[in-house]
């Protein structure tokens, strides 16, 4: 049994604590994930964000459909309310209901798809976006140090046009939790992902074993995504995770997925490639990677496996 999933205090990290830095390093090495406290968001603010999410999903279906992700009756857009795009005959569907909203860059927000009910939803999401960014930047500065890069290297890669997606997940009670997953096993197409959930259900894979990610009040779950694995030339690994269903309880999660500009050529940072450690991932435009990502997600395979260079 490995050590328990570590809880990292971001305020200690930003104050330069060497002990917290080592703890974060070991969390990332052993789990590809950690729980973050000291992120500066008051419990009352997090409760408000969760309440707004719950109130949205509690709306009548006709109300939620106003934000549907279906364009012209058939195509699905990245933004909006609805389930996964069904793109394959053999697709395994998830037991969940989702709302996806692009939150950054602000110029690309589709406010038409931002719920007006509950009335607090928009403001809470805008504030949540700003406050999570501060938490993410603390972690990215420390991860850059671990890679022997300049402290701002990763923070600076997230430019003004980088895409951040908010994903609101609702998992209804499920009569047969032994038969269906809330979300099938996957990695995130992110640099880093921040997840705030109201109940257990998230599981991570570590050396072929599934572990429950505990709920620690007011802690955020932060995990490594595919983009970070590629940028770091495999030093950091993208987290394989899934969500199980529950017969008695419904569950909600609010997830922020940080990516780059869609035109970015994804490849390992040049400082991390040399003769001793050649590039382990193929070069690919983020846009193209995202397309592969949706395709592989649908069939339950991993996009990251498709860009690994076998050495």
Where do contacts with ligand AKG occur on this chain (CB under 6 A)? 167, 169, 183, 188, 195, 197, 202, 241, 243, 253, 255
Q: Which of 188, 198, 226, 229 binds Fe ion (CB under 5 A)?
A: 188
Query: Whose CA is closest to 140, among 104, 187, 191?
Result: 191
Residue 143: partners with Cβ closer than 8 Å, 6 or more residues away: 28, 154, 228, 232, 236
Do 197 and 215 contact (CB within 8 A), yes or no?
yes
Nearer residue to Fe ion within complex by CB, 84 or 188: 188
Residue 286: partners with Cβ closer than 8 Å, 6 or more residues away: 227, 259, 260, 261, 262, 263, 264, 265, 266
The interaxial angle of helices 121-146 and 18-31, nearest 10 deg, is: 100
The item of Fe ion, ligand AKG, none sharing an interface with residue 187, based on CB under 5 to 8 Å by kind, is none
Nearer residue to ligand AKG within complex by CB, 144 or 171: 171
The item of ligand AKG, Fe ion, none sharing an interface with residue 136, based on CB under 5 to 8 Å by kind, is none
Nearer residue to ligand AKG within complex by CB, 216 or 309: 216
Helices assigned H by DSSP within the chain: 10-14, 18-31, 43-57, 61-65, 121-146, 153-157, 226-231, 286-299
The item of ligand AKG, Fe ion, none sharing an interface with residue 169, based on CB under 5 to 8 Å by kind, is ligand AKG
The item of Fe ion, ligand AKG, none sharing an interface with residue 124, based on CB under 5 to 8 Å by kind, is none
Letters for 56-85 (x = contact with Fe ion by CB under 5 A, - = none) are: ------------------------------
Nearer residue to ligand AKG within complex by CB, 223 or 233: 223
Nearer residue to Fe ion within complex by CB, 27 or 147: 27
| Minimum separation from the CB atom of position 152 to ligand AKG (A) | 27
Q: How far apart are CA 68 and CA 4, in angstroms?
A: 40
> Which residue matches tokens 């987290």?
239
Query: Where along the sequence are the contacts to Fe ion (CB under 5 A)?
Result: 188
């Amino acid at each position: 049994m490995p050590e328990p999933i570590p809880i990292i205090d971001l305020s200690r990290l930003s104050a330069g604590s060497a002990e917290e830095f080592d703890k974060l390093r070991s969390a990332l090495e052993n789990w590809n994930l950690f729980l973050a406290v000291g992120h500066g968001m008051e419990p009352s603010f997090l409760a408000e964000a969760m309440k707004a999410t719950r109130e949205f999903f509690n709306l009548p279906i006709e109300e939620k459909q106003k934000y549907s992700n279906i364009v012209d009756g058939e195509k699905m857009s990245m933004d909006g309310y609805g389930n996964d795009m069904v793109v394959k005959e053999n697709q395994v569907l998830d037991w969940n209901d989702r709302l996806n909203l692009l939150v950054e860059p602000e110029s690309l927000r589709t406010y038409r798809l931002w719920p007006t009910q509950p009335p607090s939803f928009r403001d809470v999401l805008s504030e949540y976006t700003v406050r999570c960014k501060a938490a993410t930047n603390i972690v990215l500065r420390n991860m850059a140090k671990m890679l022997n890069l300049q402290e701002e290297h990763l923070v600076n890669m997230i430019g003004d046009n980088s895409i951040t997606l908010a994903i609101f997940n609702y998992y209804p009670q499920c009569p047969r939790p032994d038969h269906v997953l809330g979300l099938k096993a996957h990695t995130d197409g992110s640099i880093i992902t921040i997840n705030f959930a109201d109940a257990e259900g998230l599981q991570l894979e570590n050396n072929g074993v599934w572990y429950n990610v505990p709920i620690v009040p007011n802690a955020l779950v932060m995990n490594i995504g595919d983009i970070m694995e590629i940028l770091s030339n495999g030093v950091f690994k993208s987290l394989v995770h899934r969500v199980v269903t529950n017969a008695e309880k419904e569950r909600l999660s609010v997830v922020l997925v940080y990516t780059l500009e869609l035109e970015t050529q994804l490849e390992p940072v040049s400082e991390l490639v040399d003769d001793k450690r050649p590039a382990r991932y193929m070069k690919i435009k983020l846009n193209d990677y995202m397309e592969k990502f949706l395709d592989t997600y649908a069939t339950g395979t991993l996009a990251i496996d498709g860009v690994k260079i076998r050495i």
